[in-house]
Structure 1
């Protein structure tokens, strides 16, 4: 790579215009000639712009691909250990993501880049995933472990983007790639991840629970406490989702006892919320409300107002079940405020669904239909497949009962094509 192109790529990575880069240093004409390869910069010029871009001058001068391999390996290993990367190393990886490196080296580069940007800039992560898909084959095999880390980062990327079928694909590849690590904490995490993805796709969560139980067994064998707690929490949720309330309560009780000696403050709001959810399903509303209000209090005390949306939503459901419309409206108002403030599209759709039940109870069917239609549209746009199916079927059945057969057919078809 010519030095002018290197300067241009680092400048773009840093978010600088040509004018911002060379302010007080040279003219726009001169930097344009350098970046297009029509002029060669002096070392003093390189020192000045390197300072503006916050990189070492040698970083801009080093164009020997063969000698860069040790740096890439260093960045890769450091990222695995710490999950962190500085701006200069990040720029280096982006510069080399399109270079003629070995597949092994490119996998290391894209693993770090996709992992980092999935946390910090999803639009940038999307571009990197598209690049990687054109360069790296998932059929690639190696004795090294970089392919498993690469599969893991893609699983996280697609999970965060609510593309659960693709997340499932890469979660499966991730598990397969580390099967030789039979009793490792890493394999336990992979099983837990696979269980969580399956829980987003399947209606019968028996398979999801199988993977979660596998992860729990390994975590317990390795006495990895954080893993034990997280696996128990996920297992309780998965039992609850399939209406196996006794098993869910038993698992929550196990988590409660476990948390007495480990990270009690972390698990307290999780326990309060999930106990509340189960008591709600069992029609033990007073117990449910107490638990859910405790959950809200825990989250507020931890300055995590965003997390209160879950309990607020369930409190809304309870108020609707009790036909306390005024109380339900207050909870929904608070919920919509949170979804707008913190950009929570999934919760927003669920709140629309809940509010529609109030319209239905008051025989305001036009408002009920409009609310559900909006919910279906948003669920489709956000790829929330289970919400699409659930709400579409409800709307289709409503239209069928009203003898609006064309509309019923439309929403039955949407449910089938989720």
Structure 2
């Protein structure tokens, strides 16, 4: 790679324009010639530019970097240990992500880049992930430890982007890559990741519960408190999602007792919300509403207003079932405000679905149909397959009841394809 191209790559990585880079150093015409390879810079120029780019001059000068593997390994090991990387090391990995390196080296490069940018700059992560998928095949033989970290970084990326089918694919590959560490903490975390994705995708959560219980047992064997608490919380959700309310309450009670001696403040809102969800499903609305209001209070006190959206959805549903339209409308307005303020598309769809129930109860069927149609479209666009299936089925059954058979067939078909 020519020095001009190296300067350009590092400048772009730093988010700098040519004008910002060369302020007080040279003209835009000169830097353009250097970056395009039409001019060769002096050492004095390189040292000035390197200072602005916050890299060593030798980094810009050493254009071939034939023996980059030791540096990649150093950066890789450091990132695994400390989850930090400096600007120069990040630039080095970015510059070499397209070079003709061994699969072993490329997997290390892409693991660090995908992990770092998923946590810090999702827009930058998108092209890196596509690049990695084109260069590295999951079927290629490689080294177990490096592969497991690489697959985990892809799982995190797709899970963060709510692309759960891709997240599930890489969560499975991550777990398979740990076959020789079946009782390690890394395997337990992989089981829990897989369970969480399955919880988002499946209706019958028996398999998700199996993975969660495997994770929980390993966490208990190794006395890993954070893993124990998170597994109990996940297991409670899986139970109540499948209407196993006694099991859900028993698991929440276990989490309550455990959290008394571990991170009580963190788990208090989680417990309040999930107790409320179970009581809501059992139609014990007074208890459910009390827990939800407590959950909101916890989140507000912790300056986590965005998290209150889930409790507001439940409170809206409770008010609708009680036919308290004014109260339901108040909770829905608060919820819609949060979906706009914090960009919460999934919750926006949920609120549309809830509001449609008010129209239906008031026999305003055109508004009911319009609301559900919009919810289905948004659920399909956002790839929320379970939500799209649930709402499409409801709409199809409504159309079937009113003998609008073509529309019923349309939405049954959508539900089948979800």
Interval containing the TM-score (normalised by the shorter chain): over 0.9
Partners of 1:51 and 1:102 lie apart in 2 by 32
Task: Please tell me the root mean square deviation across aligned C-alpha atoms, in Å.
Answer: 1.1
Q: 1:56-135 to 2 correspondence within 5 Å?
A: 56-135=56-135
In structure 2, the residue matched to 1:18 is 18
Contact 2:296-2:308 within 8 A present in 1 as well: yes
In structure 2, the residue matched to 1:170 is 170
Q: Give 5+ residue unaligned stretches, structure 1.
A: none
Displacement of 1:200:
1.5
Displacement of 1:126:
1.5
Displacement of 1:60:
1.3
Partners of 1:400 and 1:124 lie apart in 2 by 47
TM-score in terms of structure 2 length: 0.98
- Pair 1:248 & 2:248 matched: yes
Contact 1:141-1:147 within 8 A present in 2 as well: no
Q: Give 5+ residue unaligned stretches, structure 2.
A: none
In structure 1, the residue matched to 2:196 is 196
Partners of 2:141 and 2:297 lie apart in 1 by 50
- Pair 1:181 & 2:171 matched: no
Displacement of 1:122:
2.0
Contact 1:159-1:167 within 8 A present in 2 as well: yes
In structure 2, the residue matched to 1:347 is 347
Displacement of 1:62:
2.2
Which digits, 9 at most, give the CA deviation of each residue in 1:108-131, with x for residues without a partner?
010111111112222221211111
Displacement of 1:208:
0.5
Q: 1:6-405 to 2 correspondence within 5 Å?
A: 6-405=6-405
Q: Please say which of residues 39-48 and 60-69 is displaced more in the overlay.
A: 60-69
Which digits, 9 at most, give the CA deviation of each residue in 1:318-345, with x for residues without a partner?
0011000000000000000111101111
> Which secondary structure does the structure 1 equivalent of 2:283 belong to?
coil
Partners of 1:242 and 1:364 lie apart in 2 by 32
Which digits, 9 at most, give the CA deviation of each residue in 1:57-104, with x for residues without a partner?
222122233332222111111111122222222111111100111111
Partners of 2:371 and 2:142 lie apart in 1 by 52
Partners of 1:220 and 1:269 lie apart in 2 by 23
Displacement of 1:402:
1.3
Displacement of 1:269:
0.4
Partners of 1:314 and 1:82 lie apart in 2 by 40
Partners of 1:227 and 1:16 lie apart in 2 by 41
Contact 1:97-1:109 within 8 A present in 2 as well: yes
Partners of 2:343 and 2:143 lie apart in 1 by 43
Q: Please say which of residues 64-73 and 276-285 is displaced more in the overlay.
A: 64-73
Partners of 1:280 and 1:226 lie apart in 2 by 28
Structure 1 residue ranges (4+ consecutive) displaced by more than 6 angstroms after TM superposition: none
Which digits, 9 at most, give the CA deviation of each residue in 1:280-337, with x for residues without a partner?
1111111111111110011111111111111111011100110000000000000001
Contact 1:154-1:167 within 8 A present in 2 as well: yes
Partners of 1:86 and 1:406 lie apart in 2 by 60
> Which secondary structure does the structure 1 equivalent of 2:68 belong to?
helix
Contact 1:279-1:285 within 8 A present in 2 as well: yes
Contact 1:396-1:412 within 8 A present in 2 as well: yes
Displacement of 1:195:
0.7
Contact 1:240-1:248 within 8 A present in 2 as well: yes
Displacement of 1:27:
1.5
Displacement of 1:144:
4.6
